[in-house]
Amino acid sequence: MKVGDKMINRVNSMEVRKINRNAIYKFLYKRDPISIQEIAQSLNMSLPTVTQNIKELQERDLIIETGLFESTGGRKAKAITFNSQKYAIGLDITRNHVGIVLIDLSGKLLKNVRKQYPFVNSKEYFQGVGNLVKEFIDESTIESSKILGVGIALPAILSADKQTVNYATVIDFQGGSVKEFCEFIPYPCILSNDANAAGVAELWNEDDIQNVVYLSLNNSVGGSIIIGKNIFSGQNQRSGEFGHMTIVQDGRTCYCGQKGCVDVYCSAKILSDSTNGSIAEFFRLLKLNNEPQKTLWDEYLSHLVVVINNLRMLYDCNVIIGGYAGAYMDEYIEELRELVSKRNSFEVDGKYLHVCKYKLEATAVGAALQHVENFINNI
């Protein structure tokens, strides 16, 4: 054997060890406490390999023993699970607010606040965001060493490396950079597009769903296309901009400058403008059959079902409706399913349509999950 071969072998065996360790960790991440024997069996690994890796992961405080399983004769097996006590912060930056969340390693939402804090492209603004994050972390009493980082979701189209903003009209941040936030936030920062972040949150820990289209009905309409668990970004990071599909030829003028965009007909604002900006109040009055809410809703639905049917025709996968307006649609899902099925050329029902599971802060949670995902992938 030549020296070079030896080195390759050593690199390979290190790689294999890393792959095994990562597979064991990911396996534990998705499950209830389990024994070493069961891990070995499920992953088709030898008992010594699993035992060695478990020891390593335990030394790094990444997994914990939660007790012993009932014995089936012989020694009782230890119950092992992953240690969820690492944390990530997520920010949802909008035109007028900052939403902040704290999640643990499992993706569980532990704490959230939403503050009115209008976006201004200035040093004072970014310093203010840094202060909000600091206050939030202080209140949560989490040790800073256990915080993986801060994910920041923006209503903007990012560059391919996610370091800068290529396009933004909802907030005045075109050409902006992650560095502007980093200057005042003493943790690693990652930028995300807002709708993509929310889509990621919806699919987190949903092992059975590979492909989904997420339609975000916020004060601007956006979306996310997830194929094989990965976001399809498109050639210019502009995929899923469902808000700017033309739905009415020469229709009303959109903020983008074009006419007849989905955004003009399906943004949450169309509804909440009738109730001083409160979407909760809109749905409360709608339930009472109040006017003009009832008329607005009927008109809103007539456009929304066209959009949803078009998405189904394009992608042939589940469609999740979310955002401020989508979060209130559980009560109307059967009506919506019926309406979309009437438009469908192939299907007799609308079972593919779902309402988002995160009613609150999906975008900020998804932004925070970027850090969790990086952490898990690099174990």
Q: Provide the binding-site residues for Zn ion, judged by CB under 5 A.
A: 244, 254, 256, 258, 261
CB of 292 to Zn ion, least distance (A): 24
CB of 323 to Zn ion, least distance (A): 16
Considering the complex, state which of residue 217 and residue 336 has its C-beta at the smaller distance from Zn ion: 217
CB of 261 to Zn ion, least distance (A): 3
CB of 341 to Zn ion, least distance (A): 28
DSSP one-letter code for 258? -
Considering the complex, state which of residue 261 and residue 364 has its C-beta at the smaller distance from Zn ion: 261
Considering the complex, state which of residue 98 and residue 254 has its C-beta at the smaller distance from Zn ion: 254
CB of 266 to Zn ion, least distance (A): 11
CB of 273 to Zn ion, least distance (A): 17
Q: Which amino acid is at 39?
A: I
* Residue carrying the six token digits 């801060």: 150
Considering the complex, state which of residue 127 and residue 258 has its C-beta at the smaller distance from Zn ion: 258
- What is the spatial distance between Cα 252 and Cα 254, in angstroms, rounded to a whole number? 6
Q: Say which residues have a Cβ less than 8 Å from residue 222's Cβ, sequence separation at least 6.
A: 155, 193, 194, 195, 216, 240, 241, 242, 243, 323
Considering the complex, state which of residue 167 and residue 332 has its C-beta at the smaller distance from Zn ion: 167
**Phi first, then psi: what are they for 355, rounded to 5°?**
-95, 145
* Residue carrying the six token digits 């502009």: 238
Q: Are 191 and 158 in contact (CB under 8 A)?
A: yes
Helix (H, G, I), strand (E, B) or coil at 22: helix
Considering the complex, state which of residue 136 and residue 265 has its C-beta at the smaller distance from Zn ion: 265
Q: Are 25 and 376 in contact (CB under 8 A)?
A: yes
Considering the complex, state which of residue 64 and residue 245 has its C-beta at the smaller distance from Zn ion: 245
Q: Are 278 and 297 in contact (CB under 8 A)?
A: no
Largest CA distance in the chain: 84
Q: Say which residues have a Cβ less than 8 Å from residue 173's Cβ, sequence separation at least 6.
A: 119, 121, 154, 156, 165
- What is the spatial distance between Cα 165 and Cα 175, in angstroms, rounded to a whole number? 5
Q: Are 21 and 37 in contact (CB under 8 A)?
A: no
CB of 306 to Zn ion, least distance (A): 16
